[in-house]
Amino acid sequence: MILAVDMGNSNIVVGGLDDQATYFEERITTDDRKTSLEYAIMLKNILEIHKIKRSDIEGSIISSVVPPLNAPLSSAVKKITGKRPFLVGSGMKTGLNIKMDNPKAVGGDRIVAAVAAIARYEGPIIIIDMGTATTMDVVDKAGSYIGGVILPGVKVALNSLVSNTAQLPRINLDVPKRTIGKNTIECMRNGIMYGNAAMLDGLIDRMEAELGEPATLVATGGMSRFITPLCTHKIIYDADLLLRGLLILYRQNMPE
């Protein structure tokens, strides 16, 4: 199996997988104060919990949107596996035609998601990733990455609302029972949950209009499984999309 690491702004997803299955998936907090050794200890604990031996891991790959942590995390992975990991970025073989003003500026996580989506689904594809930020990426029928949008994430929007108002409390994002709220907490929850769902629906409509045809809709990321069921469009939830994309990129970049 390979060790796949997807480092986001809030969480780092660590998974062990091969072509047959995903054997484990865990999340740890992204913290730029942690040292390479601290991250190595956390990775070691994850592997021990799942009874994974060092000899079970043939290699590793990292996707990151937090450049200052690339070196410490890469060093931590090498300490645990004995091999330097691949790092998704400029110069890596992706097989993806990126039609952007500056292809090198496209985030590694967005590339990984697009690579995985193309391998699994029929184009055109709209990929929704709901984490600290919400991103929507578009792959056309020919398999080219043609762009997308970046939006404040669900919890970022909620935290901003609470932090910048005097009387609104912090709330849990449970599934709303109705659209029209009957108290402050319900009104906040409904606004955040249904508001994000309506935003996705509206952007999907506009993107499909630009594409000139319906798209396969795929969602991943921590908040997607709560928001996308509230959408009017049929959206496939694919929890391990990024890990599968990392496996594909690892295979593509292995020496002959």
Q: Please tell me whether residues 119 and 177 are part of one structural domain.
A: yes
Q: Please tell me whether residues 75 and 124 are part of one structural domain.
A: no
Question: Where does the chain show beta strands of DSSP type E?
Answer: 2-7, 11-17, 22-29, 59-64, 86-87, 97-98, 125-130, 133-139, 144-152, 216-220, 236-237
9 is in an annotated binding site: yes
**109 included as an active-site residue:** yes
pLDDT in the model for residue 89: 87
61 is in an annotated binding site: no
Q: Please tell me whether residues 68 and 133 are part of one structural domain.
A: no
Q: Please tell me whether residues 173 and 144 are part of one structural domain.
A: yes
Q: Please tell me whether residues 167 and 234 are part of one structural domain.
A: yes
Which of the residues 109, 137, 238, 240 is marked catalytic?
A: 109
7 is in an annotated binding site: yes
10 is in an annotated binding site: yes
Closest CA to 205 of 216, 214, 194: 214
Q: Please tell me whether residues 238 and 118 are part of one structural domain.
A: yes
The domain of 14 spans 2-87
pLDDT in the model for residue 159: 92
178 is in an annotated binding site: no
Q: pLDDT band at 166, cuts 50/70/90?
A: confident
**What's the whole-model pTM score?**
0.92
pLDDT in the model for residue 167: 87
Q: For residue range 3-12, list pLDDT tens digits in order.
A: 999 999 999 9
- Does residue 92 lie in a domain region? no
- Does residue 172 lie in a domain region? yes
Q: For residue range 43-65, list pLDDT tens digits in order.
A: 999 999 999 999 999 999 999 99
Q: Please tell me whether residues 27 and 103 are part of one structural domain.
A: no
